[in-house]
Amino acid sequence: MQTSERAHRRTAYFVSDRTGITCEMLGHSLLTQFEGVRFAEITKPFIDSIDKAKALVHEINQAAEQDGARALVFCTLVNAEIEEALIGANALVIDCFQFFIAILEQELGLGSARVVGRSHSADNLGDYHHRIEAVNFALSHDDGISTRDLDEADIVLVGVSRSGKTPTCLYMALQYGIRTANYPLVAEDFQRNALPPQLHNLRRKLYGLTIQPERLQVVRNERRPGSRYSTLANCQFEVRAAEALMRQEGVPYIDTTRKSIEEIAATILHDTRLVRHVY
Amino acid sequence: MQTSERAHRRTAYFVSDRTGITCEMLGHSLLTQFEGVRFAEITKPFIDSIDKAKALVHEINQAAEQDGARALVFCTLVNAEIEEALIGANALVIDCFQFFIAILEQELGLGSARVVGRSHSADNLGDYHHRIEAVNFALSHDDGISTRDLDEADIVLVGVSRSGKTPTCLYMALQYGIRTANYPLVAEDFQRNALPPQLHNLRRKLYGLTIQPERLQVVRNERRPGSRYSTLANCQFEVRAAEALMRQEGVPYIDTTRKSIEEIAATILHDTRLVRHVY
């Protein structure tokens, strides 16, 4: 391996005494801001003893030697002794909490609990139940498979097949405890030029997803290669008809073509002002 | 409202030019460390113009007045002018990125891109496709509904009905692009005292979930009140039999009773050393 290559490789560790999800997400977000470095990202949850921290230091040091550059360690460790053990590693250790906790303690005039695992835990069973119920609701109301209790949905996504409805529904249910349903728009709806009858009383809860026909064709063709369903002509027809129908019926909609699940969900939640729970 | 109550209420805003997911998660994690304050948490994504920032300042100031205490604003705004507009608000403004970006720029000897929305975007279509396929795989291999391509799973969760398999599978697929399947353990498996035949060749991919019978009874009873399925005796029998079977077959398992979806997923990924993609 050449020196110039080695200098541009770094191993980043996301280390936590609990799930590591917060520092993994923050660290990953930060690293996406740096081009020209290849980051190997490794999450190390449940580092909750000094022995585990010492074993991790050993692993970090090996990675640093291989990379020819010290590692990056993003951590959310509440126990100071465990963090001290880490500081001995050949790494830049960045505590993702400390800086903010100090500012907040001063602002609020309160000491922080300094207790591990407050976030991403199942401490509050009521909250947790709400979330699981939202996931179950999304599953049992996916793709129009059941219209039972459909009026209990917080939101009902509509759109042509493969426009992104299912992953978006699951994401909103899992991340935010929102009761989502989704209903496909199909050929007979376009022929009748009307929304499916099952949705007539839910108009205020409807939100549409659309997608560029060229992208839709690629996605559908992977699923059912060479079918009529996957032709560009059919994709163009369906998308045009679905958009016309949604406009006619006053259903707001967004183009999902270049959007991630997070972006679609954030846009919908923002537009509809649905209340999100953060878990 | 009494002064003492007012002093203990704060409105926290999570503000971003993009989805707001990173600062929402970090801010929420930080706030869970402070007891004795009731936080109202509000996410404001897509604050990507000075006009939007000014309108938000107005909203923040109203909340601060109602609370009788300035607001908390956690932000990940890449555009400095937009952030400056926010700093005029009656709020403690905490930039979730700046502090770390400066440290990383120095460490890496590089300027950061300072481009919005690198994380949680669909920039990389290949990555994105991988994730959607993982979600589709999880859905089509939920609860043993299909054994087709089951050997393409990265992991197959097993356990009794309502032990947490489905939400965990969906979470691992959505968050980390892992191809998950799940298969229920039922009465006939316990009678035969053997794993379902469909799983015989997948032993190395199996991971079990178990749950305390008392908790299982509560969960099942909500779903099918008064059924034999939901009796404590049946829950005790199934859990005991499933645990015995998993031990006999060398399937590792964890107790999900007091764990959140994140904690279950983090534990499994950690134990199995599955490679996670972070989106």
**Which of B51, B78, B108 is the endpoint of a domain?**
B108
B36 and B74 part of one domain: yes
Chain A residue whose CA is closest to B74: A100
Distance CA A13, CA A27 (A): 9
In a domain, A80, yes or no: yes
pLDDT, one tens digit per residue, over A211-235 is: 999 999 999 998 899 999 999 999 9
**Which of B83, B108, B133 is the endpoint of a domain?**
B108
Question: Does the beta-carbon distance from A263 to B24 stay under 8 Å?
Answer: no
Q: Which residues of B touch A20 (CB under 8 A)?
A: 266
B83 and B163 part of one domain: no
Question: Does the beta-carbon distance from A33 to B170 stay under 8 Å?
Answer: no
DSSP per position, A233-248: HHHHHHHHHHHHHHHH
**Which of B59, B79, B108 is the endpoint of a domain?**
B108
Q: What is the pTM of this model?
A: 0.89
Question: Is the distance from CB of A90 to CB of A30 less than 8 angstroms?
Answer: no
CATH code of the domain in which B90 resides: 3.40.50
Q: What is the predicted pLDDT for the residue at A226?
A: 92
Mean pLDDT value across residues A53-61: 97
Distance CA B276, CA A162 (A): 25
In a domain, A117, yes or no: no
A183 and A250 part of one domain: yes
Cα-flanking dihedrals φ and ψ of residue B101, to 5°? Answer: -60, -45
H-only helix segments in chain B: 3-7, 21-31, 50-67, 80-87, 98-108, 125-140, 165-176, 187-192, 213-223, 232-249, 261-272
A215 and A267 part of one domain: yes
pLDDT, one tens digit per residue, over A195-213 is: 999 999 999 999 999 999 9
In a domain, B87, yes or no: yes
Give the dihedral sign, CA A199/A200/A204/A208.
positive
In a domain, A91, yes or no: yes
Question: Is the distance from CB of A36 to CB of A5 less than 8 angstroms?
Answer: no
Measure CB to CB from residue A166 to each of B41, B120, B139 and give the nearest one: B139
What's the Cα-to-Cα distance from A268 to each of A209, B19, B65, B129, B251, rounded to whole Å? 10, 11, 29, 21, 41
A104 and A8 part of one domain: yes
Question: Does the beta-carbon distance from A258 to B112 stay under 8 Å?
Answer: no
- Rounded to a whole number of angstroms, the distance from the CA of A192 to the nearest CA of chain B is 30
Q: Which residues of A touch B115 (CB under 8 A)?
A: 33
B182 and B266 part of one domain: yes
Residues of chain B with pLDDT under 50: 1-6
Measure CB to CB from residue A260 to each of B101, B110, B128 and give the nearest one: B128
pLDDT, one tens digit per residue, over A75-125 is: 998 888 999 999 999 999 999 998 999 999 999 988 887 665 566 777 667
Q: Which residues of A touch B22 (CB under 8 A)?
A: 25-26, 29
Measure CB to CB from residue B260 to each of A24, A122, A166 and give the nearest one: A122
- Rounded to a whole number of angstroms, the distance from the CA of B244 to the nearest CA of chain A is 26
What's the Cα-to-Cα distance from A115 to each of A229, A271, B9, B35, rounded to whole Å? 54, 36, 21, 11
Cα-flanking dihedrals φ and ψ of residue B116, to 5°? Answer: -75, 155
In a domain, B115, yes or no: no
Q: What is the predicted pLDDT for the residue at A3?
A: 42
A51 and A78 part of one domain: yes
Count of other CB atoms within 10 angstroms of residue A47 = 24
Return the SS3 of A250: coil
Triad B277, A116, B267: Cα angle to 5°:
40
Q: What is the predicted pLDDT for the residue at B31?
A: 93
Q: Which residues of A touch B278 (CB under 8 A)?
A: 24-25, 28, 41, 43
Indicate the number of domains in chain A: 2
Question: Does the beta-carbon distance from B72 to A104 stay under 8 Å?
Answer: yes
A134 and A185 part of one domain: yes
In a domain, A278, yes or no: no
ipTM, two decimals: 0.88
In a domain, B57, yes or no: yes
A267 and A130 part of one domain: yes
B156 and B210 part of one domain: yes
Please give the residue range of the domain that contains residue A137. Answer: 125-272
Residue with tokens 């926010």: B86
A135 and A59 part of one domain: no
A58 and A145 part of one domain: no
In a domain, B278, yes or no: no
Measure CB to CB from residue B29 to each of A31, A46, A119 and give the nearest one: A119
